[in-house]
Amino acid sequence: MATPTSPPSFLRCKCVATRLSQRALTYSMKGRKIEISKLKTESISALTDGTTVYLNKKDGFTPEFEEGVSYVLQKYTLSNTFGQMYLFVGTGTLKFKTVPQTVPEEAETSAREALSPTSQLMSGEEEDIFAKGGYLSLQGHIKEVRGLRMTRTHVPILDIQLQCGQKLFNASLWRDEALTELYVGDEVILTHLRPCMLNNGEGKFHSSTYTSVKIPEGQVEDVEVDIIGVSEINETCHFLSSDSVVYIVPEAIFSGNPDVLIEKLPMKLNLKHINRRVIEIVSEKKHVD
């Protein structure tokens, strides 16, 4: 909850860091697929006066404040939202650049933490993992993908099961992260998860506004394959190789008419893939019978 506060007549502060944030505002259905229909781009600045951390948000790609620059501000507005101070700059705000301000290292660390909180990577074997506060990160293999759906408030959600070591965890990815194409067998790193306990006593993880879905390096394979079949399953192209391996071709790689590819069969392709999910078609070679 935001609570307006009465700011002092002027504020002397330093911009410690900035970050660009792009999040979906609205989503829409295209056939059976959920897509982002409207994006919001914000530039976020983290400032400190040496004691208090202030966040400023500005629409667009250019932040209101420059990283490393000190300022004196007048006629600004402050708001306390769940313990975090937000600084608003209006048309009447007077913003002066000033001589560099020295602030304690702890204050700069707090400012960076407010801008992008730390997320400790857990093994999954911790007994008290659901009792920990803050954000957690998990690395493991996806054992189950339970289907993407839209909530009644038109927010995408994807439920998955992740294996970390010998433990299985349920996790829900919300909003933009729910649209990440994930498949059983993928190794992933999920950052900035929120642990919670359900009413039935079971633990579960939920994504946050800071969550990212990362694929560890080293999983990418380069192969040369003979493609003998092409199919469209759930509006996604699939290749069948001569050794009966099925490769999934995401829309970002191929979004055209599969019939065009069928006319070229058989094809010899050099593919880069992760767990048989194509991330790049390196080259196409003329097939020689």
pLDDT on residue 287? 47
**pLDDT above 70: residue 74:** yes
Dist. CA 69–CA 112, nearest whole Å: 15
* 3-class DSSP state of 144: strand
The more confidently predicted of residues 210 and 279 is: 210
Q: Which domains does the chain have, with CATH numbers?
A: 2-114 (2.40.50.140), 120-214 (2.40.50.140), 221-285 (2.40.50)
pLDDT on residue 289? 44
Dist. CA 258–CA 38, nearest whole Å: 28
pLDDT on residue 276? 81
Mean pLDDT, residues 222-232: 89
Q: Which of 232, 198, 190 is nearest to 215 (CA)?
A: 190
Measured in whole angstroms, the distance separating CA 53 from the mean position of its chain's CA atoms is: 24
Mean pLDDT taken over the chain: 88
Per-residue pLDDT tens for 233-289?
Answer: 777 888 999 988 888 888 778 878 888 888 888 889 888 887 788 888 876 654 444
Per-residue pLDDT tens for 183-194?
Answer: 888 889 999 999
Its sign, for the CA torsion 132, 193, 206, 85, is positive
DSSP 8-state class, residue 257 = -
pLDDT on residue 218? 64
Q: Which of 38, 18, 16 is nearest to 27 (CA)?
A: 38
97, HSE (Cβ side, Cα atoms, 13 Å): 6
The more confidently predicted of residues 169 and 29 is: 169
Per-residue pLDDT tens for 140-191?
Answer: 999 999 888 888 888 999 999 999 988 999 999 999 999 988 888 888 999 9
CA of 201: how far to CAs of 68, 136, 143, in Å? 47, 20, 22
Mean pLDDT, residues 214-232: 83
pLDDT on residue 97? 97
Cis status of the peptide bond prior to 266, with omega within 30 of 0? yes
